[in-house]
Amino acid sequence: MTNRVILANAQLVLPDEVVQGAVSVEDGRIVQIDTGTTHADDAIDCDGDYIAPGLIELHTDNLERHITPRPRVDWPHKAAIIAHDAELAGTGITTVFDAIRVGSIVSDHNARYSKYARQMADEILAMRAAGALRISHHLHLRAEICSETLLEEMEEFGDADRVGIVSLMDHTPGQRQFRDLVKFEDYVCGKHGLSKEGFGEYIEFLYGLQERLGARHEAGAVKAAARYGATLASHDDTTAEQVAVSAGHGVSIAEFPTTEEAAVASRDSGIGIIMGAPNLVRGGSHSGNVAAQDLAQSDLLDILSSDYVPAALLLGAVRLGELWGNMARGLATVTAAPARYVGLSDRGRIAEEMRADLTRFRVVGDAPVVRGVWVEGRRVA
């Protein structure tokens, strides 16, 4: 039996404009787009709500919050994955690249964080294969350069995993995201329970680790990304020189550049620029880095990521639409643009023959309210 859905009397967010009309879906694909107010008797009346492509999230740490809801609490993983999946669906996200850290520290007690990437990936892929998830899940490996086990952990992944993104992350203190050592001290002592007395020793350990293994880890991660066929991303580039190194590696996405200098250099190098939606919504970075709104006003923002607040993705896109005076352009930062940069040619736009991944919402006051979400024509929220 044909699975047919018609969403009518809606504001359709098309690639370049918003028009009033209806979108028809059959067997998981968009088959027709009509403009105007008339519609079939069996259509769902959207009452003037927006219908946008399903949102695409390239970098979220949200699953980690469900796995570890409190320090030293390891929540049952299948339940955590299901809760994470449902939360994303409820915010209008229909495709997610779950960010999983690869690279651990196992020898130093103060700096220790354990391996988990292979197990977590297996659990996500198993849930996906079982049809237990509402939305489309892909893998994003966050390659931690300042670690001890990066290369051996990356060797555990191969073609069958269909890794979509590899990001090069160097969290060595004193540079990139953590140029301010006071903010870094507050972060690690607050999040990981490190004592203030042990902070200096911890810093020296990380400096030595980066000096000893950093170059080899970075080269190995770039090579692994090529082996997977994954999109390569940089993370927290700060200077034009760092962007030049990223471009030399074949990076196509710059995640969260920390300065306007790095954003300009990324633009000049043809690298897409991702900024955090929480940064945009809050009006600035919690780490004291460049404000997403400033980059948006300078035409230096291509993609939004929810980062650590899933609901921020749609809210941020709507804010951009208002800032730019162009809702279609704002929504493209969370739909067409991320799809294009990671090679997902079957989604991200409302057009015939595309996947029927759709999000219905209306704006109440200054906040979008999600009123329906469809993945391949099947309602999931």
Q: So what's the pLDDT on residue 178? A: 62
- Domain membership flag for residue 8: no
372 residue type, one letter: G
Q: In the predicted model, is pLDDT for residue 54 greater than 60?
A: yes
Q: So what's the pLDDT on residue 71? A: 80
Q: So what's the pLDDT on residue 195? A: 52
pLDDT band at 209 (very low <50, low <70, confident <90, very high): confident
- Domain membership flag for residue 353: no
Q: Considering the chain, what percentage of its residues have pLDDT values greater than 90?
A: 80
Q: In the predicted model, is pLDDT for residue 210 greater than 90?
A: no
- Domain membership flag for residue 356: no
pLDDT band at 205 (very low <50, low <70, confident <90, very high): confident
- Domain membership flag for residue 30: no
Q: In the predicted model, is pLDDT for residue 271 greater than 60?
A: yes
Top-confidence residue, 115 or 202: 115
Any idea which of 9-23, 173-187, 228-242 has the lowest mean pLDDT?
Answer: 173-187
Q: What is the pTM of this model?
A: 0.92
Query: What would the two tokens of residue 258 be?
Result: 């920390």
- Domain membership flag for residue 124: yes
Q: pLDDT tens, 138-150?
A: 999 999 998 999 9
- Domain membership flag for residue 291: yes
Domain that holds residue 178: 55-347
Q: pLDDT tens, 281-339?
A: 999 887 778 999 999 999 999 999 999 999 999 999 999 999 999 999 999 999 999 99
Instruction: List, in order, residues 6 or more apart from 201 with CB less than 8 Å away.
Output: 110
Q: So what's the pLDDT on residue 208? A: 78
- Domain membership flag for residue 88: yes
Q: Total structural domains in the chain?
A: 1
- Check which CATH number belongs to the domain holding 270 and give it: 3.20.20.140
- Domain membership flag for residue 29: no
Which of 336, 253, 261, 330 lies closest to 296, judged by CA?
A: 330
